[in-house]
Amino acid sequence: MKKLLLGFALMFGASLGAKAQNSSPYDLEGAVQIALENNLTLKRSELNQLTNEANLLSAQGNRYPTLSTGASSGFRWGRSINPVTNLFETERIGNINLSLNSNATLFSAGRINNAINQNKANLEAGKFNIEATRNDIILNTINLFINVVFNREQVKIAENQLETTEDQLARTTTLVEAGQLPLSDQLDLQAQNATNQLEVINAKNAFRIAKLNLAQAMQIPFTDDFDIVDPELEIDQNLMASENPALIYETAVNIMPEIAAAQKTIESAEYGVRSAKGAFYPSLGIGANVFSNYVDRAAPGQEPPLFATQIENNLSQSVNLQLNIPIFTQFNNRSSLQRARVQRQLAEVAELEAKNQLRQDIETAYNQALAAKLSYEASLTRVESLGESFRIAQQRFDLGAINSVDFQVAQTNFFNAQADLLNAKYTYIFRVKVLDFYLGNPINLN
Write out the DSSP string of 192-218.
Answer: HHHHHHHHHHHHHHHHHHHHHHHHHHT
Confidence band of 445 (pLDDT split at 50, 70, 90):
very low
> Do residues 80 and 93 touch, judged by C-beta distance below 8 A?
yes
> Do residues 122 and 262 touch, judged by C-beta distance below 8 A?
no
What distance in Å separates the CA atoms of residue 442 and residue 433, rounded to the nearest whole number?
Answer: 9
Give percent above pLDDT 90 in the chain: 51
Q: Is residue 46 pLDDT above 80, yes or no?
A: yes
The residue-averaged pLDDT of 323-346 equals: 95
How many Cβ atoms sit within 10 Å of the Cβ of residue 211? 22
277 Cβ contact list (under 8 Å, min separation 6): 109, 337
What distance in Å separates the CA atoms of residue 65 and residue 324, rounded to the nearest whole number?
Answer: 17
What are the distances in angstroms from CA 339 to CA 127, 334, 336? 25, 9, 5
> Do residues 49 and 57 touch, judged by C-beta distance below 8 A?
no
Residue 440, pLDDT score: 81
The residue-averaged pLDDT of 261-275 equals: 97
Query: Which of these, 201, 194, 203, lies nearest to 153 by C-alpha position?
Result: 203
Lowest mean pLDDT among 139-148, 253-262, 303-312: 303-312
> Which domains can be identified in the chain, with CATH numbers?
2-38+108-281+326-439 (1.20.1600.10)
Residue 57, pLDDT score: 96
What distance in Å separates the CA atoms of residue 433 and residue 421, rounded to the nearest whole number?
Answer: 18
Q: Is residue 446 pLDDT above 60, yes or no?
A: no
The residue-averaged pLDDT of 256-269 equals: 96
Residue 272, pLDDT score: 96
The residue-averaged pLDDT of 306-334 equals: 90
The residue-averaged pLDDT of 222-231 equals: 89
Return contacts of 249-255, CB within 8 angstroms, 24+ apart.
249/358, 249/359, 249/362, 249/438, 251/438, 251/439, 251/440, 252/358, 252/362, 252/438, 252/439, 252/440, 253/355, 253/358, 255/1, 255/440
Give percent above pLDDT 70 in the chain: 89
What distance in Å separates the CA atoms of residue 172 and residue 164, rounded to the nearest whole number?
Answer: 12
Residue 20, pLDDT score: 39
Residue 23, pLDDT score: 56
Mean pLDDT of the chain: 86
- More confident of the two residues 310 and 123: 123
What distance in Å separates the CA atoms of residue 370 and residue 364, rounded to the nearest whole number?
Answer: 10
Q: Is 279 helix (H, G, I), strand (E, B) or coil?
A: coil
Q: Is 330 helix (H, G, I), strand (E, B) or coil?
A: coil
What distance in Å separates the CA atoms of residue 84 and residue 96, rounded to the nearest whole number?
Answer: 13
What distance in Å separates the CA atoms of residue 424 and residue 426, rounded to the nearest whole number?
Answer: 6
Lowest mean pLDDT among 80-84, 146-150, 192-196, 368-372: 80-84
Residue 302, pLDDT score: 64
- More confident of the two residues 402 and 140: 140
In b/e form, how buried is each residue of 332-370, taking b as 16+ CB within 10 angstroms? ebeebbeebbebbeebbebbeebbeebbebbeebbebbb
- More confident of the two residues 11 and 321: 321
pLDDT tens digits along 5-33: 555 454 444 444 334 344 579 988 889 99
Q: Is residue 163 pLDDT above 50, yes or no?
A: yes
pLDDT tens digits along 193-203: 999 999 999 99
- More confident of the two residues 404 and 33: 33
Q: Is residue 350 pLDDT above 50, yes or no?
A: yes
- More confident of the two residues 323 and 236: 323
- More confident of the two residues 67 and 146: 67
Confidence band of 426 (pLDDT split at 50, 70, 90):
confident
The residue-averaged pLDDT of 292-312 equals: 76
> Do residues 32 and 142 touch, judged by C-beta distance below 8 A?
yes
Lowest mean pLDDT among 45-49, 201-205, 350-354, 437-441: 437-441
Residue 275, pLDDT score: 95
The residue-averaged pLDDT of 64-78 equals: 90
Question: Quick one: how far is CA 17 from the chain centroid?
Answer: 28
